[in-house]
Amino acid sequence: MSNDNASANNNQNPAAKLWGGRFSEATDAFVERFTASVMFDQRMALEDIQGSLAHAQMLSEVGVLTADEFAQIEGGLKDIAAEIQAGEFPWSVELEDVHMNIEARLTQRIGATGKKLHTGRSRNDQVATDIRLWLRNRIDLIAAELTRLQTGLVDLAEKEADTIMPGFTHLQSAQPVTFGHHLLAWNEMLTRDYERLIDCRKRVNRSPLGAAALAGTSYPINRARTAELLGFDAPTENSLDSVSDRDFAIEFCAFGALLLTHLSRASEELVLWTSSQFNFIDLPDRFCTGSSIMPQKKNPDVPELVRGKTGRMNGHLIALLTLMKSQPLAYNKDNQEDKEPLFDAADTVLDCLRAFADMAPALKPKKENMLAAAAKGFSTATDLADYLVRKGVAFRDAHEIVGQSVAFAIEKDCDLADLSLAELQKFSDAIGDDVFEVLTLEGSVAARDHIGGTAPNQVRAACGRARALIAAR
């Protein structure tokens, strides 16, 4: 802003502000910009109009507004909504926020009747209502994308129920599993995320409208009616808490932080699996980029960026927790700082889910490489120990026998399955020629034949249960 404009703003009539009646001097130009929120809260414009329409309808029904006044307000607000959607609305920093911009425009369009819209409410309950409406809409979009991602994962898991890969602990080869089983582990994380999201929505879906500034209003309002008109489950119970509560925003960011943590874990595995060192997965070109200097490179940028955005999401959660930690009741200007973290949190979650929902069904496992990797690292050692236990050997003794067998195989530079029966029997005479059935990778995964196990038939059954849960949403 130029100095001339700043001077002009400093000299404006304070009464021109919609709240300026008690002020004797104008707001400083810098302070005006510093305290304004319209640059970012205009994202809630349609929700603000939605809330105003419900409020005006209720005021008409209880007799505070006449039918004609309501009709004027309704028509004016709908015209303003059309202006906003067409990108033609004249936003003004001088009018501070989305609420004052819309109210001033309404009065400009329909005259003095527009000034009656704010009867029985405050910007405090108005903004609390707008945020909840906005977040509820985003939650519904996010729930749909989460469902799309899970559907893609379950479909791929069923397809790859027999595809053997190494399972890891400490990033060391541990036991063979199937790729389908691994994908279902991702799906389990996302199922918990979905449950948290829907649970969060229940607490978002309460109407603070009518709490006014902090104590309610003396007008004969019907809060249950505005809650009904706006699709809320019920009005909030306490006016002080209604205008100052941001728990729902914090809870949403906590959901987002956990979701992004899960997507980040999956992203890390995709980054590893697409490397030449692992070479387990082919990630389609459309989810990758190249190098400006190394022509051979195919970089897994989408999972890397999702992994990186987890830090951004965690930051938003801490920002909101810190914002609220020392606020006395009721509303404080601090709460203006809730919107940018919340808006970006919702955008980040939605974008990451869309990326993953597009990418996950397109993953192509390199089955031969996975199988070869699973054959390394003595991944069937536990199967040998279990075999010995079934033959009557105590587990701790079986553990010792297998450890000695592994040490011998390391000396010979071969896998347990490559040892001869005579070589294995050096360590225990309980070992018979049926031992090789459990030392195969296929036998190992098939033996885990219980709910939650990696046996292919259990993976397919788990896919059916997962698909039924998704369908019941």
**Residue 107: burial class (beta carbons within 10 Å; 0-12, 13-18, 19+):** middle
CA torsion angle for 336, 341, 347, 350 (degrees, to 10)?
-120
CA dist list (Å): 245 to 30, 314, 340: 29, 20, 17
Cα 450 to the center of its chain, rounded Å? 32
Q: How far apart are CA 444 and CA 448, in angstroms?
A: 7
- 8 A C-beta contact, residue 256 and residue 316: yes
Q: How far apart are CA 162 and CA 429, in angstroms?
A: 33
Q: How far apart are CA 11 and CA 13, in angstroms?
A: 7
Supply 316's token pair. Answer: 């938003």
Q: How far apart are CA 30 and CA 10, in angstroms?
A: 9
C-alpha closest to that of 369 among 289, 265, 272, 267: 272
CA dist list (Å): 284 to 8, 123, 301: 57, 49, 11
What amino acid positions are annotated as catalytic residues? 170, 291
